């Protein structure tokens, strides 16, 4: 039996997963991670916490599985994208990592756009300058912490810091590097033009690799600490969304992934590079070699429902809350919810966007408000789905759904009706760590490629059909689309 390990450094946890070559989960362990918000708009973590957490998770997963380090054939990595980890010439961390959801860098985004040109930046990197991306964070350090900037010797993404601690080697994957604003996404290489315009030394950046490439091996010191075997291969892996898509089997353009986690993601693989002309979709390299993907991201999907429950029904479990919503007709009797609780990314890259209930009357109940939240998130997903459709989808597609929010049959039914597309469930629930382990299985030679690995390891489950409310939702979606433009100036004023 071949055993693969997937390691995932998310914002909230450090996870170690062990699977066999059939895709069966042997063990899974997660160590919660602290997060710091020392100032408004700031979001940071200490990389030492990631390493402590992943080391503990590896040890626990090995212990729970009854396996030894020598039983692990290869390791795949994934984790939160865009985070900035700065190391000095001794390999020591210079400051807390600045995370993907940090919003302090709008001035640096404006400076990037001016230095490179909006159209040229979009053409090269597939994306406009976004506050969450890595390059603006680096410019912020240069502008605000010059003493730290002067000591920089290496820039890493969060999961690549784990690779470094496991092996002492610097490397990154193309999917993760796509979210830095420093990669020529079409050419799958660091962009000399962007680096020159921003005056960032290329030697600060690690080598880039495809997701299935071997990049390093576990060192003796890391083996002693984690229980892994000295010399165990470590593959390139992928950013969390690309690895999560592989964990759902979305490795070709005929399979679209919809993830309803804290954020909401619509993920569409591409066989060749393309970018959305107005930059409303992210265009990244996929973790599958020589492929790309479009991605739409809404910042508060299941996070909207969690916020709503915490505020208005803290003593009610989710099943009871959603049962009330199920008794309300589609459209919530004219009540709408805008899910912009933490700003928005797609299709409105606006950190000042705000959430709202619109159309409340005295006849609306808690069930109406709950259903409006579910519908508002579904409409937000449709925004991304519509943009991807306009960019060109194959005639025959399969939409696969995952994430904590996707466990609700009520919510799945609403999403299927709003998207006007059947939703296919899959048997995997381990997210990006599972996709990282799949990439490791390809590198280890268990499968020829990611497609054959996914076919062997991932099974599809129930399909949620499009229901009778699809036509009504199509009408209400047009009203939903009109609400952000109407309120945009108000949000800015607030």
Average pLDDT over every residue of 428-443: 94
Per-residue pLDDT at 380 exceeds 80: yes
pLDDT at site 261: 87
Task: Name the H helices within 295-431.
Answer: 302-312, 318-326, 366-392, 409-419
Per-residue pLDDT at 395 exceeds 80: no
In 3D space, the residue among 443, 477, 444 whose CA is nearest the CA of residue 71 turns out to be 444
Residue 262 carries which DSSP code?
Answer: S
> What are the tens digits of pLDDT across the range 406-433?
889 999 999 999 999 999 999 888 889 9
pLDDT at site 72: 98
Give the pair of three-digit tokens for residue 135: 């390059």
What's the whole-number average pLDDT of the chain? 95
Of the chain, the end-to-end C-alpha distance in Å amounts to: 59
Q: Is 240 a catalytic residue?
A: yes
Alpha-carbon distance of 149 to 138, in angstroms, equals 8
Q: Are 212 and 439 in contact (CB under 8 A)?
A: yes
Per-residue pLDDT at 330 exceeds 80: yes
Give residue 17's pLDDT band: very low, low, confident or very high (50, 70, 90). Answer: very high
**Residue of 71, 240, 383, 469 marked catalytic:** 240
Long-range contacts of 119-124 (CB under 8 A, 24+ apart): 120/193, 121/181, 121/194, 122/275, 122/277, 122/279, 123/275, 124/184, 124/185, 124/186, 124/191, 124/193, 124/194
Give residue 400's pLDDT band: very low, low, confident or very high (50, 70, 90). Answer: very high
pLDDT at site 404: 82
Please state, as a whole number, how many other Cβ atoms lie within 10 Å of the Cβ of residue 138: 24
Alpha-carbon distance of 129 to 137, in angstroms, equals 11
In 3D space, the residue among 130, 143, 215 whose CA is nearest the CA of residue 172 turns out to be 215
Beta bridge partners of 292: 270, 285
List all residues 6 or more positions away from 13 whose beta carbon is below 8 Å from its beta carbon.
Answer: 30, 31, 32, 33, 53
Give residue 264's pLDDT band: very low, low, confident or very high (50, 70, 90). Answer: very high
> What are the tens digits of pLDDT across the range 359-370?
999 999 999 999
> What are the tens digits of pLDDT across the range 36-90?
999 988 999 999 999 999 999 999 999 999 999 999 999 999 999 999 999 999 9
Per-residue pLDDT at 1 exceeds 90: no
Domains and CATH numbers, the chain: 3-242 (3.30.420.40), 249-427+459-494 (3.30.420.40)
């Amino acid at each position: 039996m071949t055993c693969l390990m997937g390691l995932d450094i998310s914002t909230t946890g450090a996870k170690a997963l062990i699977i066999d070559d059939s895709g069966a989960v042997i063990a899974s362990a997660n160590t919660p991670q602290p997060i710091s918000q020392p100032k408004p708009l700031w979001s940071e973590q200490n990389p030492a916490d990631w390493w402590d957490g992943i080391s503990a998770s590896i040890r626990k997963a090995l212990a729970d599985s009854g396996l030894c380090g020598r039983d692990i054939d290869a390791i795949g990595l994934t984790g939160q994208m865009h985070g900035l980890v700065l190391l000095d010439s001794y390999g020591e961390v210079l400051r807390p990592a600045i995370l993907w959801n940090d919003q302090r860098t709008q001035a640096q985004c404006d400076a990037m756009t001016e230095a490179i040109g909006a159209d040229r930046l979009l053409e090269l990197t597939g994306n406009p300058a976004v506050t969450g991306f890595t390059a603006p964070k680096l410019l912020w350090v240069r502008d605000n912490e010059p003493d730290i900037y002067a000591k920089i010797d290496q820039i890493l993404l969060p999961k690549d810091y784990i690779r470094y601690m496991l092996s002492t080697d610097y490397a990154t994957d193309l999917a993760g590097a796509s979210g830095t604003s420093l990669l020529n996404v079409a050419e799958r290489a660091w962009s000399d033009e962007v680096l020159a315009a921003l005056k960032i030394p290329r030697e600060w950046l690690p080598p880039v690799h495809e997701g299935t490439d071997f990049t390093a091996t576990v060192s003796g010191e890391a083996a002693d600490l984690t229980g892994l075997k000295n010399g165990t291969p470590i593959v390139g892996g992928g950013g969390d969304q690309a690895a999560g898509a592989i964990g759902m089997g979305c490795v070709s353009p005929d399979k679209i992934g919809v993830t309803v986690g804290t954020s909401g993601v619509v993920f569409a693989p591409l066989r060749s590079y393309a970018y959305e002309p107005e930059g409303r979709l992210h265009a990244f390299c996929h973790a599958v070699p020589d492929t790309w993907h479009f991605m739409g991201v809404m910042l508060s999907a299941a996070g909207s429902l969690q916020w709503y429950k915490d505020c208005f029904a803290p003593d009610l479990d989710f099943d009871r809350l959603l049962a009330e919503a199920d008794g309300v007709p589609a459209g919530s009797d004219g009540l709408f919810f805008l899910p912009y609780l933490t700003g928005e990314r797609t299709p409105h890259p606006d950190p000042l966007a705000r959430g709202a209930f619109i159309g409340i009357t005295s006849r609306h109940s808690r069930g109406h408000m709950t259903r409006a939240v579910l519908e508002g998130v579904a409409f937000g997903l449709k925004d991304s789905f519509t943009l991807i459709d306009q960019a060109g989808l194959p005639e025959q597609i399969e939409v696969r759904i995952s994430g904590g929010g996707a466990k609700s049959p009520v919510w799945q039914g609403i999403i299927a009706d709003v998207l006007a597309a059947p939703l296919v469930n899959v048997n995997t629930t381990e997210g990006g760590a599972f996709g990282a382990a799949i990439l490791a299985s390809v590198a280890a030679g268990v499968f020829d490629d990611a497609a054959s690995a996914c076919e062997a390891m991932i099974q599809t489950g129930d399909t949620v059909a499009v229901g009778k409310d699809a036509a009504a939702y199509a009408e209400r979606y047009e009203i939903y689309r009109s609400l952000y433009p109407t309120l945009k100036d108000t949000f800015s004023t607030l």
